[in-house]
Amino acid sequence: MQPDTVPRTAEAAETDTVLPPVTRRRRLIQAFRHRSLLAGSIICLVLAVLVLAAPLLTSADPNLQDPLSAFAQPSGAHPFGADSFGRDLLARVLYGGRTTILASLSVVVLGGVVGTALGLVAGYFRGAVGFLIMRLVDLLLAFPGILLALAVATVLGPGLSNEVIAVAAILVPVYARLVEGATAEVLHLPYVDAAVTLGASPWQIIRRHILPNVASGIIVLTTSWLGIAALWIAALSFIGLGVQPPTPEWGAILYDGANYITVAWWITVFPGIFLALFVVGVNLLGDGLRDELDPTLSRDLGRA
């Protein structure tokens, strides 16, 4: 007789996921040998420091108008030049980065939480509940992302919070589809069966056994969509459905300079460079995390 076989199986499943601190540090150091992961981390870190340290890097008010400085070229007084209202572009780009990056983070958090919850429920409980959730997900996925975002933004009206909700609506079905498929695979693994046999509740199984095993896919998807969310936020602001003047935001600044690109190229070039660097940085970060977290890929892929 082996009466403690099942308890040991469930316990081993939990302890296997716990790594000693030395092992975690070693794996972290090895992970940053990946070129894409290292480059993406550096780019994102530099941009984060720049936008967070905006008050230290410039004393200019991003909304202060100075008609005498309108269309001022890049100089010592205005390193990035000035826009059509004479507002310092360096200050507007740095403070606008706060708006764009924070909105992008809010999008992936909101879309990720709602989509992950729907995917976990649909994948674990299946049946009629899972069927209804996934058919709703399929319906949302049938709409092109731009049309869905425009429809939601138009119904809710312009504004940063409504813009975040509109872009998050695109992400919810993407997360739900990913998590539902991953949950269905994990659900039939031996340690989940052991937890069910021991009488664990569905929410305990989801929290302690399923969610940690689908977390890697969620992390990779989040980093991949962070840059896409920034582009969507900038696009909606560009067409007037995002933040409203005079609040600085990279997409809104690009819109302000679109009509003057031939006479004041700096109004569009500098925010465009920052937006492009942010998108490239998070994409590199997502590629590196995918290579490190996906067990089907070689661990030496992309490393120096």
Q: What is the pLDDT of residues 68-118, one digit of tens each?
A: 999 999 999 999 999 999 999 999 999 999 999 999 999 999 999 999 999
Domain count, the chain: 1
Is the pTM for the entire model greater than 0.95?
Answer: no
Residue 209's domain comprises 79-293
Cβ contacts of 262 within 8 Å, gap of 6 or more: none
H or E, element range at 280:
helix 266-293
Task: Examine residue 156 and state whether it is found in any structural domain, yes or no.
Answer: yes
User: How far is the C-alpha of 139 from the C-alpha of 227, rounded, in Å?
Assistant: 25
Task: Examine residue 37 and state whether it is found in any structural domain, yes or no.
Answer: no
208-226 CB burial, b ≥16 within 10 A, e <16: bbbbebbebbbbbbbbbbb
Task: Examine residue 268 and state whether it is found in any structural domain, yes or no.
Answer: yes
pLDDT 10s digits, 162-208: 999 999 999 999 999 999 998 888 888 888 878 877 877 888 888 88
- CATH number of the domain residue 269 falls in: 1.10.3720.10
Residue type, 115: G
Q: Judge contact between 226 and 48, C-beta under 8 A.
A: no
Task: Examine residue 200 and state whether it is found in any structural domain, yes or no.
Answer: yes
Task: Examine residue 63 and state whether it is found in any structural domain, yes or no.
Answer: no
Count the helices and strands in the chain (H runs, E runs).
13, 0
Answer whether the bond into residue 246 is a cis peptide, omega within 30°: yes
